[in-house]
Structure 1
Amino acid sequence: MSPAEEGARTRNGMRWRTDDLLDAAVLVFGESGYHGATMNAITQRSTATKATYYSRFGSKDDLYTACLHREAERMRVHLVTAYESADVLSVSEQLEGDMLAFFHHAATNPAGFMLLFGPEAAGPAARIRQTLLDTIRDEVARRVRRTLDARHPHASASADMIAAMIIGVAVHGTYQAVVVERTSPERAGAMASSFVIAALRNMEPGAIVYTTGSTAIE
């Protein structure tokens, strides 16, 4: 048996799956933030030993980064799957489905949401969060671009900006609804999607950035 495998045992000889160890760490990091979380609190939550965690992850920093990566990947898979399944729907239905998927994921995994979008603004959290947001923005921009092409020729230069605004509504709306007010994800998601759809329908043509060739004009 390797040292890592040996270290993954608790005092009673039980082996721990990596996801089980990360589950407990995500709860503590999500509740307390990186600086407030301690290895004692994490091991108490999981009942695994510190030796188990250190042999598997190396340090508190590495454990924190592993939690961030896992939660970002889980959210990415959840949202991209929802986006792909909604591709056959109308644009309004797609945007509503996108928003509900975001709110539902946060409501069913609030600790993971707080880990990614809570008050920690620097270090690995910021980098991993931005990579996730860029991926989500690109997916949303893809369908926004289709809508702009149909209604406003040469306006696709605005797709990324509009998508970023939609994602901003999702992130901050979710924080307010799920974390602060504990509103149901269905009601909050419906409100957010209605807000976004109304904004897109009533957008002034003069506010959109157009492109002619490689030159952007307003």
Structure 2
Amino acid sequence: MGAGKTKRMPRAVREQQMLDAAVSVFGRRGYMAASMDEIAELAGVSKPLVYLYLNSKDDLFSACIGREARALTEAVRAGVRPGLSADGQLWSGLRAFFDHTARHPDAWRMLHLHARTHGERFAAEVAAMREEIVAFVTQLIAAAARDAHRDPHLPEGEVAGLAEALVGAAESLADWAGATEGVTAKQAAATLMNFAWAGLGDLMAGRPWSPPEDSEPVPDAEPVPEAEGVPDSEPVAQAAG
């Protein structure tokens, strides 16, 4: 090999560089404001090469969503170690989620903000990722209930609702942590753990909260009668004067 020749970079490696650059630009600017010129420059390649590898801006955005969605779900799954107590599994899963979103803020903004609001195709891809995470959390809560030897077990609908609530809270808290200076991933996870486990712990121990039996809907307030002889458009104080 001549001294002037350099080894060509494998296509897969080059493509990952393009995706890294695109995630950074999409996360910071959003889909519409993201420039293919900026993405190519950040990746260290020409714009025609980006199109050659990834076809179009839409396809590039979709490839970024797919890669980052897989990375997030894999991180959460890998973070939950089998054999832990119910609270230990929840804590390790939350730590994995917040650690990942803190390390990859551009990817999180792209997934949770930009992909959901740009178009139906991209929103559907993110929704599929979210459904996978909710299903995983549902399994964790159901398994925790079985391990607690509750009889009867938690109803399926209640387990699904708890999982939806927990994932929704984690998403909102990840946004808050990312926008709040000084909040670490561990602190965010602990905040949600304290909020969630206070209720889940009692639930697993067979002490669910129930509304008081004598509680009744608050009746609608009676309308305040208008002062006699005062037109609707005239203030009462003015009429009294």
Q: TM-score range by the shorter chain?
A: 0.7 to 0.9
1:53 to 46, 50, 53: 50
- The CA distance in 2 between the partners of 1:116 and 1:94, in whole Å, is 25
Q: Unaligned stretches of 5+ in structure 1? A: 1-11, 208-218
Once the two structures are TM-superposed, the CA of residue 129 in structure 1 deviates from its matched residue by 1.3
Secondary structure (helix, strand or coil) at the match of 2:110 reads helix
Q: Give the structure with higher Rg (CA).
A: 2
The one of 77, 96, 102 equivalent to 1:107 is 102
Instruction: Name the residue aligned to 1:168.
Output: 168
1:44 shift after superposition? 2.0
CA distance in 1, matches of 2:61, 2:38: 14
Residue 121 of structure 2 corresponds to 124
CA distance in 1, matches of 2:113, 2:86: 30
Measured in 2, the distance between the counterparts of 1:123 and 1:160 equals: 25
Which structure has more helix as a fraction of its residues? 1
CA-CA distance at 1:93 after TM superposition: 1.0
SS in 2 for 1:118: helix
Alpha-carbon distance, 1:19 to partner: 0.7
Tell which deviates more after alignment, 59-68 or 36-45.
36-45
Q: TM-score, normalised by structure 2?
A: 0.74
CA RMSD of aligned residues (A): 2.0
Q: Please state if 1:139 is matched with 2:136.
A: yes
Size of the aligned set, in residue pairs, is: 194
* SS at structure 1 position matched to 2:183: coil
Change (3 A) 1:137 1:151: same
* Residue aligning to 2:179: 179
User: 2:24 pairs with 22, 27, 37, which one?
Assistant: 27
Verify the 8 A CA contact 2:77 2:93 in the aligned structure 1. no
Percent identity among equivalent residues?
A: 27
Counterpart CA distance in 2 for 1:44 and 1:63 is: 15
**Change over 3 Å in CA distance of 1:152–1:29 after alignment to 2:** farther
* TM superposition score normalised by structure 1: 0.82
Cα deviation, residue 22, structure 1: 0.3
Counterpart AA for 1:113: W
User: Which runs of at least 4 in structure 1 moved beyond 4 Å after TM superposition?
Assistant: none
Question: Shift of the alpha carbon at 1:175?
Answer: 0.9
- Which of the pair has the greater relative contact order for Cα pairs under 8 Å at 6+ separation? 1
Contact 1:96–1:194 at 8 Å: present in 2 too? no
Kindly indicate whether the alpha-carbon contact (under 8 Å) linking 2:79 and 2:95 is maintained by their aligned counterparts in 1: no
Check the 8 A contact 1:116/1:125 in 2, yes or no. no
Point out where structure 2 has 5 or more consecutive residues left out of the alignment. Answer: 1-5, 212-241
